[in-house]
Amino acid sequence: MTESTTLDALTLQMLAWLDERPRTYGQTMEAWRTSCPRMPVWEDAVSARLVELRPEAGAGMNGAAVRVTAAGRARLRRAA
């Protein structure tokens, strides 16, 4: 499996996980944070606009909602 294939599979896994139910930024970082520069799943998903952050009043950054965008849902549908 190439690095690109692995990264795409992980991105799809993260999108499916986020699409299951509402998640916060804190939950997402706890589950998907990586210190490996070769596996920037979160960063790539944000750059590709597959996910978005929605601030929640008074919740701070960790309480911000993370949502799969229309582009992210389209990517999930293509992979199904």
CATH of the domain at 10: 1.10.10.10
Phi, psi of 20 (to 5 degrees): -65, -40
C-alpha torsion sign, points 55, 58, 61, 64: negative
Number of domains present in the structure of the chain = 1
- 6 — pLDDT class (breaks 50, 70, 90): low
pLDDT of residue 5: 63
21-69 per-position pLDDT tens digit: 999 999 998 888 776 666 688 888 999 999 999 998 888 889 999 999 9
* Full strand arrangement of the beta sheet holding 65-68: 23-24, 65-68, 51-54
Identify the band that residue 7 occupies on the pLDDT scale cut at 50, 70 and 90. low
Distance CA 27, CA 77 (A): 24
- Whether pTM exceeds 0.75: yes
Residue range of the domain that includes 64: 3-79
